[in-house]
Amino acid sequence: MPQLAPLALAFPQQTELTVSTFKNVRGPVVFLECLKHENWSEVKHAVDHLFVNEHYSPQEAQHYWYRVTQNNLVFEGILTGVALENNSTPISTHENVLNERVQLFSDYLNEVNRQAEPLLLVHESPEFSTQIKEQICTKPPDFSFTIAQEKHELWGVPPAQAKALETFALNTPQFHLADGHHRLASTLDWGKKQQEQAVVLSFILAHDQLTTDSFLWALKEDALLKNALAKQLDYDPDLPLWVQTKKGIHSFAVPENENTLLYFYHELLGGTKALKNTKIDYFPQGKMPLHLRTNYAAIFGYTSLKIEEIIALAKQQLKLPPKSTYILPKLPTGLFIAPLTEN
């Protein structure tokens, strides 16, 4: 059962923030500049100076109602901490992780000792979210930020509603992780190494709030394609899996009762062992520049999973390969900075 643990978040002093991107990380320029240093010790020094120079202002520990407006879509839920009791997790997951990325994030946390991007968690009680929102959002937001035409609004949760949120969480068997598998694994690793109870910063929404999409998987080498191409069919838009090669676009039929992603990964590409030394580039659907397509021997695409399917997989403890799901909202890194423990 998840235990909510309010964190003392730090917010930027400016409300109109300039956005930047560094190594596929998107966030306020003032924070991303810290990540450009050569090692984590220097990153820590730079982040510490954000507080010394009052670019960020720490707040009292509390829960927040958080509303994000992106591309005319509105996402809202609770922004708070979730305690990872005894370095285990009350959060179900649906994707495997890449060990090298977990180690990278873990090294960052061990040195910098702050988290800067929430996990995206879901629950299955939209009625509760509606009711609690109506009780909290009775006045203008306590904090409001604009970044790259996105609006981020936060309301501090009053004591009565905070108690209701904590009780709701304790009565929920598990939250389900929509986005942030590597961050969760890294935070668990941090807790284990520090022998402390980690509290992971989380944005918790009802499942009907989320929008799901998928990635394109782009392979430059054709060594693994023989098995896949032997099973390809003429292109059929009604089939859930397709590939684009220099010979055109073809589809694949997925056997009944098999998960599309698991079939694609294990049966067509050969699974983890076959892919161990294979470089795959991932692009969200619709965001792969056209001029890059000729650089690849094959580009695979598939029908995105619905959030209900993702939750069902998590409940069955079935793990998809990394980069199987692309779920919105995507939150900026460094808009909120939080400690890794409640105290």
pLDDT in tens, 187-214: 999 988 888 889 999 999 999 999 999 9
- The confidence score (pLDDT) of residue 175 equals 95
Predicted local confidence at residue 270, as pLDDT: 87
Q: At what angle do helices 99-112 and 181-194 cross, to 10 degrees?
A: 50
86 pLDDT higher than 80: no
Q: Are 42 and 108 contacting, i.e. CB atoms less than 8 angstroms apart?
A: no
Q: Torsion angle of alpha carbons 26, 32, 33, 38, nearest 10°?
A: -110
Using the predicted structure, report yes or no on whether residue 149 has a pLDDT greater than 90. no
pLDDT value for 87:
55
User: Cis peptide leading into 237, omega within 30 of 0?
Assistant: no
CA quadruple 220, 259, 242, 280: dihedral, nearest 10: -10
* Residues 39-59, mean pLDDT to the nearest whole number: 94
How far the first Cα of the chain sits from its last, in Å, is: 21
Distance, in Å, from the CA atom of 46 to the CA atom of 114, rounded to the nearest integer, reads 12
Tokens 């896949």: give the residue: 228
Q: How far apart are CA 180 and CA 118, in angstroms?
A: 8
Contact 190, 198 (CB under 8 A): yes
Residue type, 2: P
Q: Is residue 107's pLDDT more than 80?
A: yes
Buried b (16+ CB within 10 A) or exposed e, 41-77: eebbebbeebeeeebbeebebbbbbbbbbbeeeebbb
| C-alpha span between 80 and 76 (Å, rounded) | 13
pTM recorded for the entire structure: 0.91
